[in-house]
Amino acid sequence: MSMSPRFLRDSTDQLSDVLRLVEVHSVISGGFGVAGAWSTRFELSSPLKFIAVVAGRATLTADGVRGPIDIETGDVVVLNRRSWATLRGGPAEPVRQLTLTEPNTFVRIDDGDDDVVIGGHIDANRAGVELLAAGLPPAVHVRASATDAMHLRETLERIWEEATARRVGADFAVNQHAQLLVLTVLRAHLAQADELPPGWLRLLTDDRLRAAVSLMHTDPGRQWRLDELARAATMSRTAFAERFRDVAGSPPLAYLSAWRMRLAQRALRDGDVRIGPLAVELGYTSESAFSTAFKRAVGVSPLNYRASVTPAERFVHENARSPREIVHRSPRQK
C-alpha cells in the first residue's frame, strides 16, 4: 500500500504526527480591503472557519462566543462549529453594510485598504475535522503579539500581497503561506496549555507524558502494557493512569486504540490497502478482530469505509481551492 502506519516510525514530533495523519491544511477563501465604517454578516458553512486582519482592526461577534472579539492587525480568530458571524470596522458612522457574495475572490472596495481582512477555513480528512473540532474551544484568538506567533503578521501580509499582485506562481505561494498560517495558529494555541481542556492537544503539551505518547505513536502495533508506558514516564502505574486520563480525557490504552483507528482510516483512504496485513500491522490478532474494533469505533466496516472514500478525499491536498482573483469594485449594499 502507498501509505502505511509505519510512516510515523521514529518520529518524536508528535504534533507533526497528528497533522500529517489527519491531513490538516488551510484554505484561503477570499478577502477584502475597505475604508471607512463597515459591517458584514456571513453564515459559516465550514466547521473550522478563520478570520484574520492583515491591516487595521475589526470587531467580531459570533453565535455561542462570549462578548465581541477585538481583532488587531496580525491577529487570527478560529471559530469552531459556529453558524454565523458579524464583522465591524472603521472609525465612525454611517456604517456601510457589505454583502460579499462572490466566493474565492479578493476584493478592494473603492480602492480602500484601511482595514484588510482575509478569511478561510482549516480542513482535514473526515477523522481529522472531528479530532480538531473536539480539541478546540468555540473561538481561538491568536494575537500577533504572542511569543509563538511572532511571524503571524508577516505571513498574513505575504498572503494578501501574493493574492492581489497576481504574479506567476501566486496560487502556489498562497497555499504554502496558508499552511504556515495554520501551523502558527495551532502552535500559539498549544502554548496556552493551562487553558486547554482535556484532549489530544493538551496531551501533546504534557512533558511528563511525552515519552509514553511517543512510544505509542512510534510503534502502534505493539501490545503495550500499562506498566511499560508508566515506566517510560517514570511514574507508578496508578499515577500514570490518573494523569493520562486527566490530561487526555481517556485512559492510555483507550487512546492507543483510538490512535490505531485513525491510522487505519488514513491507510484505507489510499484505496489499495489489504485489510489482513493492515490488521496485523496495527496489532490485531486477526482480520475479524480488527474489523469488529473498526466498526465499533467508526460505525462501518473497513471494506465499506474504503468503498465510501471519494477521489477528492484521497487527494485532499491537491483538491484544495486556490482563490486568487482581485476585483476593484463597490460591493452590493443592503
170 with 222, same domain? no
Longest CA pairwise span in the chain (Å): 70
Per-residue pLDDT, 53: 97
What would the pLDDT profile of 205-225 be if each residue is shown by its tens digit?
A: 888 999 999 999 989 999 999
Residue finishing a domain among 180, 195, 210? 195
Q: For position 107, which CATH number holds?
A: 2.60.120.10
| Domain presence at residue 7 | no
Verify that 259 and 285 share a domain, yes or no.
yes
Instruction: With respect to residue 247, please indicate whether it lies within any of the assigned structural domains.
Output: yes
Contact 129, 47 (CB under 8 A): yes
Domain total in the chain: 2
Is the domain of 56 the same as that of 162? yes
What's the pTM value of the predicted model, to 2 decimals?
A: 0.78
Same-domain pairing of 85 and 175: yes
Same domain, yes or no, for 97 and 203? no
Tens-digit pLDDT string for the chain (334 aa):
334 444 444 455 778 888 887 888 899 989 999 988 999 999 998 999 999 999 999 999 999 998 899 999 999 999 999 999 999 998 877 677 887 656 668 888 877 789 999 999 999 877 788 888 888 889 999 999 988 888 899 999 999 999 888 889 888 999 899 999 999 999 888 887 667 788 888 898 888 999 999 999 989 999 999 999 999 999 999 999 999 999 999 999 999 999 999 999 988 987 778 999 999 999 999 999 999 999 999 999 999 999 888 766 655 533 433 333 333 333 444 4
Indicate if 90 and 155 belong to the same structural domain: yes
Distances (CA, A) of 253 to 4, 249, 256: 21, 12, 5
Could you tell me the residue range of the domain that residue 100 belongs to? 23-195
* pLDDT for residue 101: 58
- Domain membership of residue 122 (yes or no) is yes
Q: Are residues 62 and 169 in the same domain?
A: yes
**Closest C-alpha to 334, from 102, 112, 43, 100:** 100
pLDDT at 67: 86
Cα separation of 50 and 73, whole Å?
14
The answer on 171 and 42 residing in a single domain is yes
**Are residues 134 and 277 both part of a single domain?**
no
Residues 9-36 have pLDDT tens digits of 445 577 888 888 788 889 998 999 998 8
- Same domain? For 142 and 45 the reply is yes
CATH number of the structural domain spanning residue 254: 1.10.10.60
* CA–CA distance, 35 with 132 (Å, rounded to integer): 35
Domain contains 322: no
Please check whether residue 18 lies inside any domain of the structure: no
